[in-house]
Amino acid sequence: MQHIAMRLGLLAALLLAALTARAENISVAVAANFTAPMKRIATAFEKDSGHKVVASFGATGKFYAQIKNGAPFEVLLAADDATPARLVQENAALADTAFTYAVGKLVLWSAKPTLVDPAGAVFKTGGFAHLAMADPKLAPYGAAAQETLKAMGIYAAVQPKIVTAENITQAYQFIRSGNAELGFVALSQVQPDDKGSVWLVPANLYAPIRQDAVLLQAGKGKPAAEALMQFLKGDKARAIIRSFGYALP
């Protein structure tokens, strides 16, 4: 009996060693707006697969420049669909691997409970000196914010008050800290425990924020990177994405 137990223990140890040997680290570039969902998705993926997600969070435009300069990212989760398409066209990403993993929603948010009204009339009533938004040249949510202000016909009037952040995470931090009274962020960033006031920007004021994932050249032929791409399409990941306020394609 003891001999059988020892054999079973050895077999279990060998299986664990084999799984550990096959486990890989995956280098993933993730749009800043998707930070919280990706952390939760990574935990679920790691539990299911044994692979380790090494994620970097930032502006999509900066990631594009880094990838073109040889950064060894294997997967990109962009805040738009144009950047992955461009990387495919430039042979920096694999054709036919891009897909929309989430559709983002833009909000105007303030840490002050009564500043932002549900109709976005705060731009008429005033009461703010600083308006935070991500850099439109680097961050798709920043471009959507700029597009919204132009569609409302108030961009020129509020431009002197705009505080430009490197990415949408920094824009959120400007608002939360009080350095900006209000600003444009992703709906996914405004959590239930966030005090303040919010306006969900009507979708007709900006182009749809279709966020695409793509397998980069560094991830070609790597089972772990391909497994992550498949996991993002699955029910577990989609449920997490939906729970953070994103729409699904």
Task: Please give the Cα distance from 127 to 122 (Å, whole number).
Answer: 8
Nearby residues of 175 by Cβ (< 8 Å), 6 or more positions away = 109, 110, 111, 132, 181, 182, 183, 185
pLDDT of residue 171: 97
pTM, to two decimals: 0.84
Which CATH superfamily does the domain covering 2-103+209-243 fall into? Periplasmic binding protein-like II (3.40.190.10)
- Of 94, 77, 83, nearest in space to 37 by CA: 77
Residues of the chain with pLDDT under 70: 1-21
Task: Please give the Cα distance from 186 to 31 (Å, whole number).
Answer: 11
pLDDT of residue 1: 54
Architecture of domain 106-200: 3-Layer(aba) Sandwich (3.40)
pLDDT of residue 205: 97
pLDDT of residue 9: 55
DSSP SS3 for 28? strand
170 φ, ψ (degrees, to nearest 5): -65, -35
Domain ranges of the chain: 2-103+209-243, 106-200
Do the domains 2-103+209-243 and 106-200 sit in the same CATH topology, yes or no?
A: yes
pLDDT of residue 208: 94
pLDDT of residue 77: 98
pLDDT of residue 19: 45
- Over the range 18-27, which residues count as b (16 or more CB within 10 Å of their CB) and which as e? eeeeeebebb
- Of 76, 83, 86, 85, nearest in space to 56 by CA: 76
Q: Are strands 25-31 and 52-58 parallel, antiparallel or unpaired?
A: parallel
pLDDT of residue 17: 42
Residue 201: CB atoms within 10 Å: 21
Q: In Å, what is the CA distance from 142 to each residue of 61, 80, 93?
A: 11, 11, 24
What is the distance, to the nearest Å, from the Cα of residue 119 to the centroid of all Cα atoms in its chain? 26
**pLDDT tens-digit readout, 101-150:** 999 999 999 999 999 998 899 998 888 999 999 999 999 999 999 999 99
Task: Please give the Cα distance from 134 to 9 (Å, whole number).
Answer: 55
